[in-house]
Structure 1
Amino acid sequence: MTRLSFQLYSVRDFDLPAILPQLAKIGLQEVEGYGGLYADADNFQQQLAESGLRMSTGHFDLAMLRDDPGEVIRIASLMNMESVIIPFLTPEDRPTDFTGWQAFAATLAEAGKPVIDAGLSFGWHNHAFEFTACENGRYPIEAIMEASDHIGLEIDLAWVHVAREDPVTWLETFAGRLLAAHVKDCAPDGECADEDGWADVGHGVMNWDKIVPAMRSAGAELMVLEHDNPSDAMRFATRSFTTASAF
């Protein structure tokens, strides 16, 4: 059964304590965390519980996981998370060829072992750079996913689109390896400039009629709503939840 969640990074610039109960009111039951929320994890978990929400997945910085895996696992357990996900690699840290990506992927797989040993799922969340071909024609995302069967993918469908790749093709490629899908939309060229070119789900150019069946076939049972820069948090949340609920 497909479940809906909400990446709280989407509302980082708004009054989060006020927004949490509003997310529950529109029908959301799950959210996804990010690094800025974990400084006082105990207090934030209480806020979630009071709002009727559960943080089922969370984004964690790779450096934090490597330096203090015990703390990552403590936070994940406190929040009742199912999955620990690494969300990003800064430009200066990105390898410049496929061999470099293979080496990075091996490091990623090693870093994830304590998470797996703790009974949690471990995965990677993509941006566009993982879907830019290397010098040999292969993709960084292939190196990451080939490093270990224990690395799952939270596929960000809009970033795949931004990379000018077909989300359906990559959903098929990684069928059975998906922890979740970031359900995000792109505005038509030149529109929504004040929101960095992103759109509410169902109000952009993503071909959901083709993508949604591919998500189901690939085993993406958790759909995480996201917008990188909404001007109105609850407009985005409400319209996107309405769209995704009908998928």
Structure 2
Amino acid sequence: MSYPLAYQLYSSRNFPPLGDQLPELAAMGYDAIEPWLPAYEADPAGFGRQVRAAGMRIIGFHMPLDGLAADPERWCDIAEAMEAEVLIPPFVPAEERQPKPEFWRGVGERLARGAEVAERRGLTVAWHNHDFEYAPLPDGTRPIEHILGVSDAVKFEIDCGWIVRGGADPAEELRRYADRIVAIQLKDTAGPDGMGTEDGWRATGDGIIDWEALVPLMKETAATHVVAEHDNPADWRAFAARSADHMRRLGLAAGAA
């Protein structure tokens, strides 16, 4: 089983112009771009056309949780303008986080309300994790359990690298949320603490994560695509090419040997 291979454009935000990267990414074998705000903000329809002209598409895109909560119809309009399918809020700012189950259930409730609107328009809402969702709360529960525990309509883009950074096991999380996972980010890390060059991130296959062991579990999920991401690469081309090649060798991406 193989998947469309997407590239999170946040990875190369420090190497503008982003538009010039699109044909190169397509040539590397990427099928899709996963953009983040503000890459598409000025002209969502135009950005979508630019991606399609390069021979790729947009399956999911990162967008603000506050935007989804305040004006879900507008963000569904943006999704449709880009011909995207999945709206992906990825973050709660550190200054807003509270170590209380009710706070994280509130995040899940905001996502659920947005998902209800999106579902009526044939779209999907998925949460994207970082490490903070895996830090135990005083009662021993974890934020991720409360975020995803409110509604099955809220799906999950699982970021394996951040799970490792959060002290959890990607294998366990792939099993736990198999039927909720719509996208898998194969983000790799040099270690569990985030230290070292490039903020401790690595191209897929160059870090400590045992991807070969995770592949069978990935294929048991409801994922529709896989995503390459690196938060701070020194060389975006090297990261993108290496990650695409490794995903193909794992048998995940289209064109796998």
Match of 2:79 among 67, 76, 79: 76
Distance 2:208 2:27 in 1: 28
Equivalenced residue count is 247
Instruction: Select 1:25's aligned residue among 15, 24, 27.
Output: 27
Instruction: Name the CA distance, whole Å, in 1 between partners of 2:223 and 2:49.
Output: 29
Q: 1:165-197: per-residue Cα shift (whole Å, max 9, x none)?
A: 110001100111101011110014799833100
Please report how far the alpha carbon of residue 47 of structure 1 lies from its aligned counterpart in structure 2 after TM superposition: 1.6
Q: Which residue of 2 aligns with 1:10?
A: 11
1:154 aligns with 2:154: no
Match of 1:62 in 2: 65
Q: Secondary structure at the match of 2:14?
A: coil
Q: 2:104 aligns with which of 101, 116, 119?
A: 101
Residues 105, 147 of structure 2: 8 Å contact kept:
yes
Q: Counterparts of 1:245 and 1:178 in 2: how far apart (Å)?
A: 20
Deviations 1:49-87 (A, max 9, x none): 221110110111012222332221111112111111111
* Matches for 1:116-127 after TM superposition, within 5 Å: 116-127=119-130
Q: Secondary structure at the match of 1:149?
A: coil
Q: How many angstroms does 1:225 deviate by?
A: 0.4
* 1:59–1:85 contact (8 Å) kept in structure 2: yes
**C-alpha RMSD of matched pairs (Å):** 1.7
Paired amino acid for 1:98: P
AA aligned opposite 1:187: A
| Aligned: 1:44 with 2:51 | no
Evaluate the alpha carbon distance shift between residue 40 and residue 216 of structure 1 in structure 2; reply closer, same or farther with a 3 A threshold. Answer: same
The alignment partner of 1:196 has SS state of: helix
- Aligned partner of 1:241 among 241, 244, 249: 244
Give 1:174's aligned amino acid: Y
Structure 1 stretches of 4+ moved >6 Å: 189-192
Gaps spanning 5+ residues in structure 1: where?
none
Deviations 1:117-142 (A, max 9, x none): 11111110000010111111111111
Query: Is the aligned partner of 1:183 residue 2:186?
Result: yes
- Cα deviation digits, residues 204-239 of structure 1 (max 9, x gap): 111112111111112323111000001111100000
Aligned to 2:95: 92
The one-letter code matched in structure 1 to 2:237 is M
Aligned to 1:137: 140
Please report the TM-score for the alignment, with normalisation by the length of structure 2.
0.91
5 Å-filtered alignment, 1:164-203, equals: 164-188=167-191, 193-203=196-206
CA distance in structure 1 between the partners assigned to 2:97 and 2:76 by the alignment: 26
Identity %: 35
3-state SS in 2 of match to 1:78: helix
Q: Which amino acid aligns with 1:20?
A: L
Q: Structure 2 unaligned runs (5+)?
A: 251-257
Which one-letter code corresponds to 2:211 in the other structure? W
Distance 1:224 1:62 in 2: 20
TM-score by length of 1: 0.95
Residues 237 and 162 from structure 1, CA distance in 2 versus in 1: closer, same or farther, beyond 3 angstroms?
same
Letter in 1 for 2:222: G
Hey, which of these two has a bigger chunk of helix by percent?
1
